[in-house]
Amino acid sequence: MEIKTDVLVVGAGHAGCEAALAAARMGCRVTVLTASLQQVARMPCNPSIGGPAKAHLVKEVDALGGAMGRAIDETHIHIRMLNTSKGPAVQALRAQADRPRYSERVKLEVVSHPNIQIHQDLIQELHLHRGEIMGASGASGTLYRAGATVLTTGTFLGGLIHMGETSFAAGRSGEPPALALSHSLRACGLELGRLKTGTTPRLHRDTINWQAMEEQTPTETPLAFSEMSPLQLPPRQLSCYLTRTSLATKQVILANLHRSPMYIGLIEGTGPRYCPSIEDKMVRFGDKDTHQIFVEPEGFDVPEVYLQGVSTSLPLDVQWEIVHSIPGLENATILRPGYAVEYDFVHPTQLQHSLEVTRLRRLFLAGQINGTSGYEEAAAQGILAGINAARRASGAETIELGREQAYLGVLIDDLVSRGTSEPYRMHTSRAEYRLLLRQDNADERLTELGHRWGCVGTAQYQTFCEKQGVSQREYERLQTTRLKPADAEKASEAFKTPVKPGCSLYELLKRPHIELAQIRRFEGLEELPQRILERVEIRVKYDGYMKRQDDEVARARRMEDRELPPDLEYTGLRTLSSEAREKLSRQRPRTLGQASRIPGVTPSDIATLLVHLKQARPCKTL
């Protein structure tokens, strides 16, 4: 059997769903392959979306027309804004999902799209012809011919599950791994590595002593990820809870390290630095007797509860001891044990910034196959890979996002320029222009581009344009409206601060304790929507800082855009360090800016390259 399609998407997790939907919105015929039709957009680990930097990625996915933001808005059971005591650049939304409802919501959007066909099949071999991937063969015997292929294999690529002394091949518990595809990728000339992640035991909520833990209540302020979602409180939310491990927990774990696959050499892959297993935490932070644990419900009608902070691959009998040593969980029942999963990934330095494999045209990679961790990182890569696969299939040039345009641009540039030896997680500290890359202005940065590329629909674009128009008019009104003497006197009394005649409303709003809503009430004007108020207020209060960062971007771009010849013989530049010659020859950066971010390439090496570029420039004829 043979199936012809414009874009073939392998995998139906968060990356795969966004890739398929993006390509479908752009008019492509899309075929999605998944190991299980029942596990589309599954949340195998934490049942939450967002958090610092991750929320920024979700907002960017939404700005490009993606599904993740709308799906979590419609299915969350708990939502909060984090870092509210800090500036807007690092504030972040985080929501707990009703796990089965979230998956069903995304699955419905995928299967109901007229341009998408979804099949249950495992890819075994990629078909390479003259440096281009022309499709793939499935375990069913079906040949899939495609104009472009997107691999979003998650933890299934060479997946191996560990729990204590027991190990077995699987992509996730109860689901088969993709073993043959690893061999096919290597046969195509790609270099693969090995990583590890894990999950926690799930507990029955009715066996937990909630009174023994600290309650974390959801917000009482309407919040939403998507600009297309209404700002309104849901009719019902659930609390999360906070507890800590005990000294007994530490003693149980340390006494059983000889049974941990991490410490007896069964696991080869490197685990996530910022989300270590509970046994890893006890060893690495030996001076600490307790560690914080978040107890998170997984849905309104779901008995399972997730233990954030108790990821483990210890045997089941030890997991029972660990759980029962934690305050509030003394009588808790484990419904599903935790485990570690080891899997293959493709070293991302073999990718272009479009997420196309450099030496394999028409093949795009997104998600954990690129060495990342997290649903949000996967979805963001997926939407860009889907856009570029659609463009490649239609004969258009691929597109890229810069570090100054999006957190997604930072993520991809980090992977492509620097590579990773551990699961990569997005942090606000990774973005040098984070004041420009706030979660509140993701649509300003990306929706116009998305509409131009064809992945943002008319309704979303019209909503964006209307919001932009109102925001700009209000911003200009604040700049041009100046207070007359009588009004300045009233303002001094109303805002409890000296206001001189002739002071503009723009200058007044710049004062830290004054809000735009207060100014409009003082003027007797009608209320503006909350999103408009926030956008204008942030713009006014941070105008000076943002202009300064714009200048930094302009200076950096001059070096960033300085192209390096694709045939430059780095080995012949003896003034470069030997490490720089080796890494530049292997990674072939396109620009001086990309070269500067390769580990081992020093400022001295960049200066050498700059001198070489100036000397190589042909002289003008007088």
Q: Which domains does the chain have, with CATH numbers?
A: 2-200+343-453 (3.50.50.60), 225-339 (2.40.30.260), 469-550 (1.10.10.1800), 562-614 (1.10.150.570)
More reliable by pLDDT, 556 or 170: 170
In angstroms and rounded to an integer, the radius of gyration of the C-alpha atoms of the chain is 26
Residue 175, SS3 per DSSP = strand
DSSP letter for 118, please.
E
Model's pTM, two decimal places? 0.92
Residue 7, beta-bridge partner list: 30, 148
Q: What local confidence, expressed as pLDDT, does residue 618 receive?
A: 52
Q: Give the lowest-confidence range in 19-33, 262-276, 366-380, 387-401.
A: 262-276
Instruction: Summarize pLDDT for 467-503 with one digit per residue, the tens.
Output: 999 999 999 999 999 999 999 999 999 999 999 999 9
Letter string b/e over residues 217-253, b meaning 16 or more CB atoms within 10 A of that residue's CB: ebeeeebbbbbbbeeeeeeebbbbbebbbeeebbebb
Backbone dihedral region for residue 524 (phi beyond 0: left; psi -120 to 50: alpha; all else: beta): left
pLDDT of residue 552: 85
Assess whether pLDDT exceeds 70 at residue 391. Answer: yes
The whole-number pLDDT of residue 320 equals 98
Q: Tens digits of per-residue pLDDT, 560-592? A: 778 888 888 898 888 888 888 988 988 888 888
Q: State the Cα–Cα distance between residues 535 and 439, nearest whole angstrom.
A: 11
Contact yes or no for 347/417 (Cβ under 8 A)? no
Say if CB 31 and CB 8 are below 8 A apart: yes
Q: Which residues contact 229 (CB under 8 A, 6 or more apart)?
A: 69, 70, 73, 74
CB count within 10 Å of CB 511 equals 12
Tally Cβ neighbours within 10 Å of residue 563.
Answer: 13
Statement: residue 605 has pLDDT above 80: yes
Type of residue at 133:
I
Stretch 412-435: mean pLDDT: 92
pLDDT in tens, 506-531: 999 999 999 999 999 999 999 999 99
Instruction: List residues bridging with 215 in a β-sheet.
Output: 241
Measure the CA–CA gap between 369 and 357, rounded to whole angstroms: 12
Q: What angle do CA 14, 19, 20 make, to 5 degrees?
A: 105
Question: Using 50, 70 and 90 to split pLDDT, how confident is the model at 617?
Answer: low
Mean pLDDT over 53-81 rounds to: 97
Among 438, 50, 426, CA closest to 218: 50
Q: What residues form DSSP beta bridges with 363?
A: 149
Q: What is the mean pLDDT of the chain?
A: 93
Give which of 471, 403, 364, 440 is closest to 147, Cα–Cα. 364
From the number of C-beta atoms within 10 Å of its C-beta (0-12, 13-18, 19+), residue 487 rates as: middle
- Residue 497 DSSP one-character state: S
Kindly report, residue by residue over 228-267, the tens digit of the pLDDT.
999 988 889 999 999 999 999 999 999 999 999 988 888 8
CA nearest to 605, candidates 573, 564, 583, 576: 576
CB 228 within 8 A of CB 254: no
Strands annotated E in 86-232: 92-97, 116-120, 123-129, 132-138, 143-151, 160-163, 166-169, 192-199, 202-204, 214-216
621: confidence class by pLDDT, cuts 50, 70, 90: very low
Is the Cα dihedral 178, 182, 188, 192 positive or negative? Answer: positive
User: What is the rounded CA–CA span in Å between residue 544 and residue 567?
Assistant: 42
Q: Cβ-count burial of 295 within 10 angstroms (0-12 exposed, 13-18 middle, 19+ buried)?
A: buried
